[in-house]
Amino acid sequence: MPDATEDGEPMRETIAQALAVVAVGGSGIVAGVFFAVAVSVLPTLYTMPAGSYITLHRKLGQGYHPSMPLIVNSTMFADIALIFLVEEPATRWLFVLASVLALGVQGVSHLGNVPINKRVLRVDPDAVPDDWDDPRPQWRRLHQLRTALALAALTVTAAGVVVLP
């Protein structure tokens, strides 16, 4: 009978456990940040005049970029790697679903929120046109969607981590 270290199983489990920490930790950070923005930052931004909103939107963006995309990507790649490291099919499917949900977060961000952010950056906060199309309602809807996806990804990732050996 081969020694346990010869078949690589302990190494595989160690790698899976390390990636599980990255996946659940990253999912928690993303969901937590998005939740905080949804319940605190966005309501505050809605109360501001357009020029003040644009200025603050820019400052907030400087703090979130590039850290949030890196955290979302790291989380998604950890989930993807776990698909190939876990042996139990039900657990593997949890990480497939978590990966898809994280990809959904990225899709909403890159196809929805980021283009709006770029549009806001082009507006002079000291000379907002009278006919300016305020993006806050659309940005908020998109943010609520990605927050729901992030919370679902956290839940599914946590479920997968709980059943790891």
Q: Please give the single-letter amino acid code of residue 40.
A: S
Q: What pLDDT is stored for residue 2 in this prediction?
A: 45
Question: pLDDT-derived band of residue 58, with 50, 70 and 90 as boundaries?
Answer: very high
- Asked whether residue 3 carries a pLDDT value surpassing 70, the answer given is no
Amino acid at 145: L
CA 44 to chain centre: 22
Q: The pTM is what? A: 0.92
Burial of 149 (0-12, 13-18, 19+ CB in 10 A): buried
In this prediction, residues 128-155 reach a mean pLDDT of 97
Quick: pLDDT tens for 75-132.
999 999 999 999 999 999 999 999 999 999 999 999 999 999 999 999 999 999 999 9
What beta strand segments (E) does the chain contain?
A: none
What φ, ψ does residue 28 adopt, rounded to 5°? Answer: -65, -40
Residue length of the chain: 165
Least confident span in 6-15, 38-47, 130-139: 6-15
pLDDT surpasses 80 at 6:
no
Q: Strand, coil or helix: what is 63?
A: helix
For the cut 90, the answer to whether the pLDDT of residue 139 exceeds it is yes
Task: Assess contact for 153 and 30: CB atoms under 8 A.
Answer: yes
